[in-house]
């Protein structure tokens, strides 16, 4: 069976849905960070952490959107090392900024 005849089944759709769920989770984290910053007294450190959280969320959103769009082909490209590193860095950054906002 050649690559042109490949039947990917539902795998690309499952992967696309997984990226969308993860994007939704990151969006909820960013919104909760904003709520915490606004209701927590809006200290300068909290505002910096919130700003960095928004930047990390936007970075993750960019990678996720590119992956979701790329899953529309019959033979999607693999996730590159650069995108994987960006995804991991944004996820860790969101966690670090969330902890910074609590203290």
Tell me: the pLDDT tens digits for 25-80? 888 888 887 787 777 666 777 778 788 888 988 999 999 888 888 877 777 788 88
DSSP labels, the chain: --GGG---TTHHHHHHHHHHHHHHHHHHHHHHHHHHHHHTT--HHHHHHHHHHHHHHHHHHHHHHHHHHHTTSSSPPPPPHHHHHHHHHHHHHHHHHHHHHH-
- In whole angstroms, how far apart are CA 2 and each of 7, 8, 73? 10, 12, 15
Q: How confident is the model at residue 1, as a pLDDT?
A: 47
- Residue 3 lies inside a defined structural domain of this protein: no
User: What pTM does this model have?
Assistant: 0.74
> How many independent structural domains does the chain possess?
1
- Residue 4 lies inside a defined structural domain of this protein: no
Length of the chain counted residue by residue: 103
Range of the domain at 76: 10-102
- Residue 51 lies inside a defined structural domain of this protein: yes
Q: How confident is the model at residue 89, as a pLDDT?
A: 92
- Residue 48 lies inside a defined structural domain of this protein: yes
């Amino acid at each position: 069976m050649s690559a042109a005849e490949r039947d990917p089944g539902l795998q690309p759709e499952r992967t696309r849905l997984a990226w969308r769920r993860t994007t939704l989770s990151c969006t909820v984290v960013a919104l909760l960070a904003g709520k915490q910053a606004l209701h927590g007294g809006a200290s300068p450190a909290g505002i910096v952490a919130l700003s960095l959280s928004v930047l990390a969320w936007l970075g993750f959103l960019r990678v996720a959107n590119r992956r979701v769009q790329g899953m529309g082909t019959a033979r999607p490209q693999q996730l590159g090392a650069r995108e994987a590193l960006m995804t991991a860095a944004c996820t860790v950054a969101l966690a670090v900024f969330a902890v910074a906002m609590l203290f």
